[in-house]
Structure 1
Amino acid sequence: MLVIEYKIKAKLHQYKAIDEAIRTAQFVRNKCLRYWMDAPKDAKINRFALNNYSTKLREEFSFVKQLNSMAVQASAERGWAAISRFYENCKNHQPGKKGFPRFQKDNRSVEYKTSGWSLHKTKRRISITDKKGIGELKLLGKWDIHTYPVKSIKRVRLVRRADGYYCQFVLDTEVKEQLESTGNLIGLDVGLEYFYTDSNGHTEENPRFLRKAEQAIKYAQRRIYKKEKGKNGRRKARKRFAKKHLRVTRQRNEHAKRLARCVIKSNDLVAYEDLSVRNMVKNHCLAKSISDAGWRQFRQWLEYFASKFERVTVTVNPQYTSQKCSGCGTIVKKSLSTRTHNCKCGCQLNRDENAAINILNLALQARGGHPRRNAVGVGVTTLVGETLLEQTLTLSTEYPAL
């Protein structure tokens, strides 16, 4: 599964038509959620029931009928994705909140399936053929979609961001590449002082993109409240503020992708901790720094490139990886401020390097002491094997800097 993204160049009335299509998609999703909530207990509400209900919405509301029928169906599937995720969390006894479906108020995309759009013969323009009045859109970007047949395009998505509108093509194609074996094994310990420290002692600097841009972001936010509500000045100030946050998000994602690609291509086996970032950010003293580091994005890209290049990724339990001595296995208690590991056996290492060695040892134990070629690894999930709808919601695919 691959997502190719182009920026859209269009006229003002076309942008307004895209916004109307996005609002309609949000309306259909929310109506499907309300239909599920209000249904009797003995009623069986599933994906097909929501699809049938979306057809009734087309008959009841004229603005819904103007949207392509498959786009309406895709919006209903988004509602069912939220419901099925809630059911799955309850079934698996997920700790904490189960993710009860909520109504959406900030939807930024509308999705078409195999109809409602047509590519120009040059494949540099796309026409949206429903009755919303979007029309022909010019595609700007470096991706060459000519190398893929039109039949492999399973979904087309129009996305609104702070700096403009984008068109995404979801392609049903294999994203795999065979690499020669390097014979290298590595363990990674992520942190805040350094982005990660590997079992060879190498450290990667933590870029801290949000911290560096924080002063400019706060200034842009203050400028919003100095403008009068409802005026163009306030709208432009909000747009400038959103662009600064979008830039930080893209920097963080590109940094994680670049590092993950290099790590995977250089090693046959990569081991890392199975961290629960959701629980870690509950520490209000470190929440901003943990979020700024982007550990979750780094892990997602590691798993993606492991599947693409047919490498092995292994997750291990992070318990005692920092306290345990990598030389003799003795537990050496140390506080978070202690950055050096000293053991009675004579082992003296940086705290993070010691943890990275322990992570690698645990991964080798889980795999029987030697690496075996496996695109998925032990105890991890890859995004390539997910359904089209899950790809829609996560967008964990390889694309250039936006």
Structure 2
Amino acid sequence: MMICQHFLIEPTKEQEEKLFYTLYLCRKLYNYTLDQRIKHYKEYGKGLTYEEQQNMLPKYKKEHPEYKAVQSQILQDVLRRLDRAYKNFFDKRAKYPKFKDKYHYTSITLPQSEAKRNFGKEGYVYIKNIGHIKIKAHRNFDPTKVKTINIKYHAGKWYINLSIEVEEEKEKTVIREKAIGIDKGINSIAATSDGELYSNPRWLQKSEKKLKKAQRQLSRKKKGSKNREKQKKRLAKLHEKVANQRRDYLHKISYNIVKHNDIICVEDLQVKNMMKNHKLAKSIANAGWGMLDKYLQYKAEREGKIFIKVNPAYTSQRCSGCGRIVEKDLSVRVHKCECGLEIDRDVNAAINVLYEGLRQLGITA
């Protein structure tokens, strides 16, 4: 199983200049190969493949000697990145690939490199022609298990994402009492069948005034000016703070749930389709339902526990006590049934999610 660990890195001034130059050359190659594909299609009626462009790469490097300063694997990843963009377009997952400017090409990827963690909270990553870059490694990682390294520039800082292969725990004996159902919502990001409600801190809404003010200040700055560049960094830092708050909170929720349960049942919500509702899109995106599912799944797999998604149909309307359908709109927050059950509607839904998950696993509720 692959997991990703995210760290801050601290390149020296000289290393930072080399990283910026590498990004510039990678962006230039990306735009060149995109233009090459467009022209080839217009002339011959078919596009170029990754393999064909890879075979053309040595000739391009000979014609542009400045590319000797860039590791070959970084350049090959540029071609793979463009190939993925085309595949996403043809699979209708994204729009047609666009030419990149410096604001939209901010990372490089190395399929093989050297990353190590020393004693304490420091480590390093070695990149050919750039050197050993300091990593602020706040948690352990096994350098022998690192498969790919991604270095990204964002909001005035440099980050490293390590894709690490970890072994899954051997399957454990499932204890029925440690199964849980989870209902995702907007008022509560997650409600569990145990009756626990994880509140929604609404990070984006709390920061909205600051973000709008920063965005207005940016729009007033002259394009291409240094002041505009500075304001872009300020705005990016505000967005980064909101994203970090969301990730941290969801990691804590998922860790707590996986730690205390052996079976985790969640709703299989079609988040992309739900985002088409413009009245709820911002709230859904801010809640991070998809991110929570991802964190729960990889933590469960890592610990040898069971993670299962169930059909969300009628989980909110069905009574978890007697099975009767009790229709109610979103404004009704308490489930009341003729059978006498009175319970929070999200907890009622979480219990139904648990029952459906156990049914799929063939376990009697």
Q: Match for 1:53 among 33, 47, 56? A: 56
For residues 208-243 of structure 1, give each alpha carbon's deviation from its aligned partner in whole angstroms, at most 9, with x where no partner exists. Answer: 111111122222223324444443333222211110
SS at match of 1:315: strand
Look up the equivalent residue of 1:61 and give its one-letter code. Answer: H
Relative distance call for 1:340 and 1:264 in structure 2 (3 A) is: same
SS of the equivalent of 1:103 reads coil
Q: In structure 2, give the amino acid aligned to 1:112.
A: L
173 and 234 in structure 1: CA distance in 2 versus 1, 3 angstrom threshold: same
Contact persistence 2:109–2:149 (CA under 8 A): yes
1:400 counterpart residue number: none
The aligned residue for residue 139 of structure 1 is 135
User: Which residue of structure 2 aligns with residue 71 of structure 1?
Assistant: 74
> Where do 1:193-212 residues align within 5 Å?
193-212=187-206
Task: Name the CA distance, whole Å, in 1 between partners of 2:253 and 2:322.
Answer: 31
Asked if 1:369 is matched to 2:363, the reply is yes
* Match for residue 103 of structure 1 among 95, 98, 106: 98
Q: Residue 207 of structure 1 aligns to a residue in which SS?
A: coil
Residue 114 (structure 1) aligned to one of 86, 89, 112: 112
Deviation at 1:156, TM superposition (A): 2.9
Counterparts of residues 246-257 of structure 1 (less than 5 Å) = 246-257=240-251
Q: Aligned equivalents of 1:190 and 1:120: distance in 2? A: 37
Return 311-320 or 179-188, whichever deviates more.
179-188
1:305 corresponds to which of 296, 299, 302? 299
Q: Which residue does 1:218 correspond to in 2?
A: 212
Question: CA offset at residue 178 of structure 1?
Answer: 8.1
Alpha-carbon contact 1:154-1:170 (below 8 Å) kept: yes
* Residue from 167, 188, 198 that aligns with 1:174: 167
- Residue from 186, 208, 213 that aligns with 1:192: 186
Partner of 2:128: 129
Partner in structure 2 of residue 14 of structure 1: 15
Counterpart amino acid of residue 59 in structure 1: K
Alpha carbons of structure 1 residues 225 and 86: separation in structure 2 relative to 1, 3 Å: closer
Residue 286 of structure 2: which of 287, 292, 311 is its match?
292
- After superposition, where does 1:274-289 map in structure 2 within 5 Å? 274-289=268-283
The DSSP-based 3-state class of the residue aligned with 1:155 is: strand
Q: Structure 1 residue 59: deviation in Å?
A: 3.1
Distance 1:163 1:357, change over 3 A: same
- SS of the equivalent of 1:319 reads coil
Cα displacement (A) at 1:314: 1.1
Matches within 5 A, 1:304-323: 304-323=298-317
Q: How many residues align?
A: 356
Deviation at 1:18, TM superposition (A): 1.0
Other structure's SS at 2:266 match: strand
The alpha carbon displacement at 1:14 in A equals 2.9
CA distance in structure 1 between the partners assigned to 2:201 and 2:296 by the alignment: 18
- 1:175 and 1:212, CA in 2 relative to 1: closer, same or farther beyond 3 A? farther
1:218 aligned counterpart, secondary structure: helix
How much does 1:5 deviate?
4.2
Q: Which residue of 1 aligns with 2:264?
A: 270
Unaligned runs of 5+ in 1: 90-96, 372-402
CA distance in 1, matches of 2:116, 2:338: 69
TM-score normalised by the chain length of structure 2 = 0.86
Q: 1:173 to 1:41 in 2, by over 3 A?
A: farther
Q: 1 CA distance for matches of 2:158 and 2:364?
A: 48
Higher mean displacement: 249-258 or 178-187? 178-187
TM-score by length of 1: 0.78
- Please say if residues 37 and 47 of structure 2, whose CA atoms lie closer than 8 Å, have aligned partners that are also in contact: no
Report the Cα distance in structure 1 between the residues aligned to 2:179 and 2:164, rounded to whole angstroms.
33
Aligned to 2:352: 358
Shift of 1:175: 5.9
Distance 2:326 2:125 in 1: 62
CA shift, 1:181, in A, is 5.6
Shift of 1:179: 7.5
AA matched with 2:310: V
Q: Aligned AA for 1:10?
A: P
Stretch of structure 1 that moved more, 227-236 or 72-81: 227-236
Q: For the Cα contact (< 8 Å) 2:115–2:143, is it kept in 1?
A: no
- Structure 1 residue 306 displacement after superposition: 0.9
Summarize the Cα distance change of 1:365–1:30 in structure 2 as closer, same or farther, 3 Å threshold.
Answer: farther
Moved more, 154-163 or 171-180: 171-180
1:163 shift after superposition? 3.8
Deviation readout 1:126-179 (Å, 9 max, x if unpaired): 44323xxx344333333445x534xx4333322111141123443344365888
AA paired with 1:157? Answer: N
Give 1:273 shift.
Answer: 0.8
Preserved CA contact (<8 Å) 1:32 1:54: no
Specify the SS of the correspondent of 2:195. Answer: coil
Which amino acid letter does the alignment assign opposite residue 167 of structure 2? E
Q: Secondary structure at the match of 1:334?
A: coil
- Does the CA-based 8 Å contact 2:263-2:306 persist in structure 1? yes
Aligned equivalents of 1:347, 1:263: Cα separation in 2: 26
Shift of 1:189: 0.7
Q: Secondary structure at the residue paired with 2:207? A: helix
Q: Once superposed, what is the RMSD of the aligned Cα atoms?
A: 3.0
Q: 1:124 to 1:262 in 2, by over 3 A?
A: closer
Distance change (3 Å), C-alpha of 1:319 and 1:54: farther
* Equivalent residues of 2:168, 2:304 under 8 A apart: no
User: What is the CA distance between 1:364 and its match in structure 2?
Assistant: 1.3
